[in-house]
Structure 1
């Protein structure tokens, strides 16, 4: 009898293990597919924007058409186009580092049906990208207003290359701060910070309800926006529609989140960003 019980228990354990592996493969497979699709759409959008050309500005630089209203366009239409592109771009850029956090959420919930767990995971992701969308909604009017001022004030336009270098330099310096280190820790594998439960080597369970999932997604998004503030500024300054800049920033964000020594990676990234800022400043001073 005891042998039968043990055998039954072993089969149940084996079955749960197989189900967990299937669930994990499915989750990361869907995540990879979403990443590929969003990346393709982002690259296509960037190519379309590049085909529109750029406007030469005083100071020897060019302004992207992202911030301008073209003939026949309305400002609400331009804003909607920007936010759509921004949202797809954020999915492509942030999903590689978000997917492990979503998987940890699934592990912390556990004990419910796969379908319900899937919907709760989607809700966490929607909350996360809602925060990034809100950030984009704040970025667009500021960028459009600044672009309008630069076209009207040549002196301001001539100062842009130097200002860009200073911003990039500051973003690189931010990578070395304790503030950055704390935010990065909250975006890595620390359950106490990211899962809203007491820090412990054991992963605590989270309530399997929509309100908790939504709040968890918002919390992840806010932590991520803070952690990526410097690198996001680099993206905006160096060219939001330049796929090469997007690729470099995406790689930097992903590696500092997932590498075993993420804080060291962040500092190495900071060295590169500071160097890029210095090059931009020297070039701007030479042009001036």
Structure 2
């Protein structure tokens, strides 16, 4: 009885510390984003609620309307000039950091249940003698998960460079300047939402206990491998949704908050699959409307 009580107290302490750590990581990520993530402008200045961002591509419309002048008659900066002037090694590093921290801020709420479940499984395994005693390896699980999103961030920055170079994406406000880019991304996201791969990845993300039971690996290295595996499924589930940031604005807080809430609902609600299919219909209609307006 004494051993059981001590194990329960240890499990409760670990859970409290882990929750506190997740909350701190999330708070730091969101704070950095709100402060502009190293950009010259704050995220508030780069945010707007617009269904068709390309219509006002030449007229920055910040949430702080007095902070930036509007010039609807101006022309977009020459893509080649933007590429030559704006994409130094320092900018590349800053953009990778921006995307990665943004992914951490957006995905942490939906992955938190899996992280907590992993910690609980480790402690229960130690209590039953199936896992060697010692520190819980959940931090390595989370590290593996976030490492996958770092890889996604590198790919996103490469795509951002290409879009800015072509002139389809604003180099200063980071939102779409092309109806065809907007419509194409919206249509691709709609199609992917109803694809078998999306359904498989979403089903995995909705069943954390099943993943842990079928993919369990012992030790810190095993925990990291499990985190990488789970992260791969998570990227497979959400990459098309994250690509929507190229439409509304990579640093647009309105779109970031909306996507964060949607991903959370899609993964944690019992009707997550239905939510995903409804979103596909909305995105398809939105894509058609983008071409017509």
TM-score greater than 0.5 by the shorter chain = yes
Give, in whole Å, the separation in 2 of the partners of 1:183 and 1:92: 20
The CA deviation string for residues 16-53 of structure 1, in whole angstroms up to 9 with x for no partner, is 33432332222222212221221111121165266589
For residue 143 of structure 1, report the CA deviation from its aligned partner.
1.9
Matches within 5 A, 1:71-82: 75-82=88-95
Normalized per residue, which structure has more helix?
1
TM-score (norm. length: structure 1): 0.75
Unaligned stretches of 5+ in structure 1? Answer: 1-8, 152-157, 199-204, 284-288
CA contact (8 A) 2:181 2:247 kept: no
Give, in whole Å, the separation in 2 of the partners of 1:175 and 1:31: 29
For residue 219 of structure 1, report the CA deviation from its aligned partner.
0.8
Q: 1:222 to 1:190 in 2, by over 3 A?
A: same
Give, in whole Å, the separation in 2 of the partners of 1:266 and 1:183: 12
Q: 1:226 to 1:52 in 2, by over 3 A?
A: closer
CA contact (8 A) 2:33 2:43 kept: no
Give, in whole Å, the separation in 2 of the partners of 1:93 and 1:267: 21
Partner of 1:170: 188
For residue 83 of structure 1, report the CA deviation from its aligned partner.
0.8
Once superposed, what is the RMSD of the aligned Cα atoms? 3.2
Give, in whole Å, the separation in 1 of the partners of 2:134 and 2:59: 47
Partner of 1:116: 135
For residue 74 of structure 1, report the CA deviation from its aligned partner.
5.6
Partner of 1:103: 116
Partner of 1:3: none
Partner of 1:230: 240
Partner of 2:258: 248
For residue 14 of structure 1, report the CA deviation from its aligned partner.
3.8
SS of the aligned residue for 2:36 comes to: helix
SS of the aligned residue for 1:116 comes to: coil
Unaligned stretches of 5+ in structure 2? Answer: 48-52, 61-76, 169-175
Give, in whole Å, the separation in 1 of the partners of 2:9 and 2:188: 49
For residue 171 of structure 1, report the CA deviation from its aligned partner.
0.7
Q: 1:133 to 1:206 in 2, by over 3 A?
A: closer
Partner of 1:6: none
Matches within 5 A, 1:91-170: 91-110=104-123, 111=126, 116-117=135-136, 120-150=137-167, 160-170=178-188
Give, in whole Å, the separation in 2 of the partners of 1:222 and 1:12: 38
Give, in whole Å, the separation in 2 of the partners of 1:87 and 1:114: 33
For residue 109 of structure 1, report the CA deviation from its aligned partner.
2.6
Partner of 1:216: 226
SS of the aligned residue for 1:48 comes to: coil
Q: Which protein has the larger Cα radius of gyration, Structure 1 or Structure 2?
A: 1
For residue 97 of structure 1, report the CA deviation from its aligned partner.
0.9
CA contact (8 A) 1:59 1:159 kept: yes
> Structure 1 residue 16 and structure 2 residue 7: aligned?
yes
